[in-house]
């Protein structure tokens, strides 16, 4: 199947471009206001896209009230203003997802249906990779692999990927990360006992062991010893072929963060400890989706230079994006986890136990926590875009925003995995 190319996805970008490309008169937080934007090599901007006629020319008001008054923004939201703006025709509604309902009250941005040709090709390629290249799962797990709908997930999250080859970078890494989570931590034989040793050895598939000639062959052979290590090794080899050394090192760093979060949750499980809410949120800042949006430039076919990626304001934006998207997972997977054996920590469960709330009130408070994180993410991204008006920075911020929106879309529409509690 031929790759549909970037022209098929550009139509989804204008609203996202407006989302973080507009000037901001005041900076909400000093961290972003004080960013020193160093001179960097030119980075290719997004391909030209038509302007959104429903976005007013001045989006500079910094207050939360102004954000509400100007209506929603983000991928696919051009038709979501309550009334047409004066002198403008009403915009058609975006394509509705085929299945699934969003959590009532959850702040999110609807997205158009991902390009079906790309979804089909990514889905076919990732299944061939899983079966033929890394022998990822036995026959009895096939329905679960298909039900994960990773092709639809990644196409929705990366609308500016120039080719299917670029989408496959993210797709292999996503599948490999989930193989480690399932087989080492949770659904398919996972256990907190001995997890640290398993994760350490798996991490060497991402961050190679440099040892003596005598012992290197044994390590290399170990990378083929189980499905998670085979998947990590192969996905990382593909990734480094299309990333820069800086991007690859950035990804290794974020995967180490992820593994640290796995270990904290495992330690609490072994001692039956329910953390304080703030402690749980700290763990979720590490055990979260951060490695996925942090590679948005690699998947987009460009590089955000390392000195700009490392800016504290950019790190805050990426952390907030990862934290918000991970609470989305807590909320949509709530009923699935309650039905599973054992006690699963998620934000509503921790709020209920630590703050003495009912299950319903705890869940609704978790929705509020997510919304606060989302607003902070958008405020910080807008401030950083204004403080550092470098094309690569603004393109990266739009890419992270698209990932946040696509992640919600996948959770909402994946009714194979998720269903909502009856709290409304």
- The model's pLDDT over 62-116, given as tens digits with 9 standing for 90+, comes to 333 333 323 334 433 332 222 233 333 333 344 544 578 999 999 999 999 999 9
Percentages (nearest 5) of helix, strand, coil residues in the chain: 60, 0, 40
Structure tokens at 134: 């890394």
- Asked whether residue 295 carries a pLDDT value surpassing 80, the answer given is yes
Q: How does DSSP assign 149-165, residue by residue?
A: -HHHHHHHH-TT-SSHH
DSSP three-state, residue 81 = coil
- pLDDT higher than threshold 70 for residue 171: yes
Q: Are 265 and 290 in contact (CB under 8 A)?
A: no
Q: Which of 37-41, 194-198, 249-253: highest mean pLDDT?
A: 249-253
Phi then psi for residue 299, to 5 deg, are: -65, -30
Rounded CA-CA distance 170/228 in Å is 16
99 backbone dihedrals φ, ψ, rounded to 5°: -145, 165
pLDDT band at 36 (very low <50, low <70, confident <90, very high): low
Contact 173, 239 (CB under 8 A): yes
Per-residue pLDDT, 192: 84
Orientation angle between helical segments 14-21 and 391-413, nearest 10 degrees: 120
115 and 151 in contact (C-beta within 8 Å)?
Answer: no
Specify the pLDDT at position 103.
97
Identify the band that residue 187 occupies on the pLDDT scale cut at 50, 70 and 90. Answer: low
Query: Region 252-266: what's the mean pLDDT?
Result: 96
CA–CA distances in Å: residue 374 to residues 229, 377, 386: 34, 5, 18
Residue 49 banded pLDDT, cuts 50, 70, 90: very low
In the DSSP assignment, the letter for residue 256 is H
pLDDT at 194 over 90: no
Q: Token pair for residue 242?
A: 């299309």
Asked if residues 206 and 252 have their Cβ atoms less than 8 Å apart, the reply is yes
What's the CA gap between 403 and 418, in Å, rounded? 19
Q: Residue range 49-69: average pLDDT? A: 34
For position 330, what pLDDT does the model report?
97
Token pair of 335 as six digits: 């009923």
Residue percentage of the chain with pLDDT more than 90: 70
Torsion of CA 342, 275, 107, 338, to 10 degrees: 10
SS (H, E, C) 62-96: CCHHHHHHCCCCCCCCCCCCCCCCCCCCCCCCCCC
| CA-wise closest residue to 316 among 232, 240, 243, 378 | 378
- Report the b/e string of 184-220 with b at 16+ CB within 10 A: bbbeeebebeebeebbebbbbbbeeeeeeeeeeeeee
399 pLDDT more than 90: yes
What CA–CA distances, in Å, run from 21 to 28, 77, 94, 217, 259?
16, 16, 21, 50, 34
How far, CA to CA in Å, does 70 sit from each of 60, 63, 346? 11, 11, 33
281 pLDDT exceeds 50?
Answer: yes
320-362 residue pLDDT tens: 999 999 999 999 999 999 988 778 899 999 999 999 999 999 9
What token pair was written down for 192?
């907190």
In angstroms, the CA 153 to CA 418 distance is 14
Q: What is the pTM of this model?
A: 0.80
Indicate the helix (H) or strand (E) that contains 197.
helix 195-203
Quick check: 295 and 240 in contact, CB under 8 A?
A: no
Query: pLDDT confidence of 237, banded at 50, 70, 90?
Result: very high
Q: How confident is the model at residue 182 (pLDDT cuts 50, 70, 90)?
A: confident
Residue 274 binned pLDDT confidence (cut-offs 50, 70, 90): very high
Chain-centre distance of CA 184, in angstroms?
A: 21
């Amino acid at each position: 199947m031929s790759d549909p190319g970037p022209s098929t996805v550009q139509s989804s970008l204008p609203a996202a471009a407006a989302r973080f490309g507009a000037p901001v008169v005041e900076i909400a937080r000093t961290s972003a206001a004080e960013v020193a934007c160093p001179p960097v090599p030119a980075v290719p901007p997004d391909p030209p896209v038509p302007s959104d006629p429903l976005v007013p020319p001045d989006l500079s008001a910094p207050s939360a009230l102004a954000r509400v008054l100007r209506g929603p923004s983000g991928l696919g939201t051009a038709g979501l203003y309550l009334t047409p703006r004066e002198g403008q025709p009403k915009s058609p509604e975006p394509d509705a997802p085929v299945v699934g309902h969003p959590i009532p009250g959850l702040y999110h941005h609807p997205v158009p249906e991902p390009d079906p040709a790309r979804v089909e090709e990514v889905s076919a390629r990732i299944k061939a990779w899983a079966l033929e290249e890394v022998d990822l799962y036995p026959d009895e797990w096939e329905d679960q692999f298909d039900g994960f709908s990773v092709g639809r997930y990644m196409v929705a999250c990366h609308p500016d990927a120039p080719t299917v080859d670029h989408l496959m970078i993210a797709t292999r890494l996503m599948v490999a990360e989930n193989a480690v989570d399932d087989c080492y931590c949770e659904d398919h034989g996972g256990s907190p006992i001995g997890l640290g040793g398993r994760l350490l050895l798996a991490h060497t598939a991402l961050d190679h062991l440099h040892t003596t000639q005598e012992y290197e062959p044994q390590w290399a052979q170990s990378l083929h010893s189980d499905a998670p290590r085979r998947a990590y090794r192969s996905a990382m080899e593909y990734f480094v072929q299309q990333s820069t050394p800086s991007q690859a090192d950035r990804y290794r760093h974020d995967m180490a963060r992820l593994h640290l979060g796995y270990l904290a949750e495992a330690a609490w499980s072994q001692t039956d400890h329910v953390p304080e809410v703030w402690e749980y949120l700290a763990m979720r800042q590490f055990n979260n989706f951060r490695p996925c949006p942090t590679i948005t430039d690699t998947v987009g076919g460009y590089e955000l230079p390392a000195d700009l990626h490392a800016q504290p304001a950019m790190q805050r934006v990426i952390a907030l994006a990862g934290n918000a998207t991970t609470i989305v997972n807590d909320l949509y997977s709530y009923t699935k986890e309650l039905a599973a054996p054992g006690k699963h920590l998620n934000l509503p469960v921790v709020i209920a136990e630590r703050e003495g709330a009912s299950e319903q009130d705890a869940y609704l408070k978790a929705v509020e926590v997510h919304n606060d994180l989302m607003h902070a993410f958008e405020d910080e991204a807008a401030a950083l875009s204004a403080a550092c008006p470098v094309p690569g920075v603004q393109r990266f911020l739009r890419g992270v925003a698209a990932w946040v929106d696509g992640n919600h879309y996948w959770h909402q529409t994946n009714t194979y995995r998720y269903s909502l509690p009856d709290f409304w």
